[in-house]
Amino acid sequence: MPEKGERMSQLTRRDLLKSAATVGAAAALSPALGGPAAAQTTQKRELVTAQGGDISKLDPHFSTSSNDIRISFNIYDNLTSRHADGKLYPGLATEWKLTAPTTWTFKLRSGVKFHNGDPFSSADAKFSIERTYDPNQKTMVATALSTIDHIDTPDPGTLVVHTKKPDPLLPARVAFYGGQIVPKKYLEAAGNDGFNAKPVGTGPVKFVSWTKDDKLVLDANDAYWGGKPDFDRMTMRPIPETAPRVAALLKGEVDIIVQLPADQDERVAGNPTTRVAGALYAGLYVLAVNSKRPPLDNPLVKQALSLAIDRESIVKELWRGRGIVPSGMIAKGDNHFDPKLPPLAYNPGAARDLLKKAGYKNEEITIETTVAYVSNDKQMSEAIQGMWRDVGVNVKVEVIEYSVRAQKNREKSFKGVWWGDPTSTLGDPDGMMWRLLGPGGINDYWRHPRFDELGNAARFSVDEKFRGEAYREMTKIFLENFPWLPVIQPYEDYGLQKYVEFTPNPNQQFEIRKFNFKFKRA
């Protein structure tokens, strides 16, 4: 997810020289940016946002890239909605409960209309969800809701979802990608291409026009069930380079920019008319490990590698303090995160001893890094290379391109360790750690019978107490085996005009609603 959004800004950081020049020029000029009396209020009726890349499609079921979902979560609604506090709130469903071990019943909001005036009913919800995994539709979210067996619609206001096995996370699943609700009647008449060209949803904004790589124009939905948002029009401008994107904010041409790199925080915060708002990323940045290749098949070596990473320094130096040191495999803010667990330790002496004990024979360990696939990936790789060398590890950094990384993911052909940013799509370890590390997941390079048993049991249990215990025991196994080397849980920062009140969502959904967004009026 953030995965894909970042890639658009590759060009920036692809070239070290280039960013060095940018930062230099920026530093030279920033003191001169005083400007007139700071505009702390506004009478604007248009919200202008900027992000690192343009959208690719308007049909929500054909993309999961973060650039696309920032828009689709505003044109469309989901049945449930995850707010900035990490909890699920009513969306197009007003309430939901488990009515049998494999049955979730959703009560739907009445009186909701699509942008074209058609009423929303359970038929649309059923159609939307079934469309995601219908093989004839060929969507890109076919696995998002695949725990569902079939769906009943006893009346227009009720949706009964039967899952194949007990699914504790179904309400969370429908809050994320794949769960956007599309209009059955309109879509069937327009066809997939027609719908993608002229989309219709129930969300707070309606589609007006899209000029690729220039701007996307959306109008406020006056009849929105959650209240009309505090603007008449919303425009999204894709600005690929970081420096011009920040400049557009500082000059007041845009109101909100997303994906603000930590090294630009000071400029935005130091400017009298702008500020930084952040949310702790719902996920972790990790070095995934190919635990099948020696010497990484030896748990002691991986323990040593973890102990040799000075995460505090990485947070402080490379992230300007905009992150926290993880304690294990569960992101802070997620279900079953254990606040008592200490942050992962740094102890180079112990690392050296462990390497000796493991019988490490100077085998080469490769860090395959992308550039700006996740923020600071190359810089962190180089820092970690130094730290590992300090304890006597023979380590090499190899730079690979984004699509090559994607291909290696598919072929499972990574040599040593590589960057991943497992997103916690469901606010739960199952939707993050188990989704990727479980059997068949893209990071499935290590198996452990007890770990697997617990992971599977927790996936299909609707008993949260049992699940909590399972994840605690799994964390213990994880910390002995390190199928991932968690490095940082960063903040996702946004640059805002001071007259914008907005609380970002840790999941990068960028939902703009009446409850979380307001212009400060004089």
List residues binding another protein (CB under 8 A): 1, 3-4, 7-8, 10-11, 15, 17-18, 21-22, 25-26, 29, 32-33, 53, 56-57, 59, 62-64, 135, 138, 140-144, 177, 193, 196-197, 211-215, 237-241, 243-245, 247-248, 250-251, 253, 401-404, 406-407, 409-410, 423, 435-436, 440-442
Nearer to another protein, 220 or 371 (CB): 371
Distance CA 431, CA 179 (A): 15
> What one-character DSSP code corresponds to residue 423?
B
Structural tokens at position 373: 């696939």
Q: H/E element holding 433? A: helix 433-437
Per DSSP, what are the bridge partners of residue 219?
206, 233
Is 24 exposed, middle or buried, given 0-12, 13-18 or 19+ CB atoms closer than 10 A? exposed
Minimum separation from the CB atom of position 386 to another protein (A): 28
Beta strand pairing call for 417-420 and 364-369: parallel
Nearest CB to another protein, comparing residues 140 and 391: 140
Other C-beta atoms within 10 Å of 113: how many? Answer: 15
Distance between CA atoms of residues 387 and 356, nearest Å: 17
DSSP for 26-40? HHHHGGG---SS---
Q: Which is nearer to another protein, 12 or 121 (CB)?
A: 12
Cβ contact 427:82 at 8 Å: yes
3 state DSSP class of 158 = strand
Closest contact distance (angstroms) between CB of 12 and another protein is 9
Q: Are 147 and 112 in contact (CB under 8 A)?
A: no
Q: Which residue, 198 or 389, is less far from another protein as judged by CB?
A: 198
Query: How near is the Cβ of 22 to another protein at its closest, in Å?
Result: 5
Residue closer to another protein by CB (options 70, 513) is 70
Where do runs of H (alpha helix) occur along 16-118?
Answer: 16-29, 66-75
What minimum distance in Å lies between the beta carbon of 64 and another protein? 4
User: Measured from the CB of residue 196, what is the shortest distance to another protein in angstroms?
Assistant: 6
- What is the C-alpha to C-alpha distance for residues 376 and 263, in angstroms, rounded to an integer? 10
Minimum CB–partner distance for residue 99 and another protein (Å): 29
Nearer to another protein, 105 or 196 (CB): 196
Shortest Å distance, C-beta 59 to another protein:
8
CB-nearer residue toward another protein: 87 or 410: 410
For another protein, the closer of residues 18 and 107 by Cβ is 18
Nearer to another protein, 36 or 111 (CB): 36
- By residue count, the chain amounts to 522
Give the bridge partners for 218, in sequence order: 207, 234
Going by C-alpha positions, the residue among 2, 49, 123 that lies closest to residue 377 is 2
Residue 418 Cβ, how far from another protein at the closest point, in Å?
13
CB of 512 to another protein, least distance (A): 21
Compute the distance between CA of residue 258 and CA of residue 47 in angstroms, rounded to an integer: 14
DSSP for 270-292 reads: HSTTEEEEEEE-SB-EEEEE-TT
| Residue 47 in tokens | 């919200």
Task: Kindly give, in sequence order, each residue whose CB lies less than 8 Å from that of residue 32, ignoring residues fewer than 6 positions away.
Answer: none
Q: How far is the CB of 213 from another protein (least distance, A)?
A: 4
Comparing CB distances to another protein, the nearer of 96 and 418 is 418
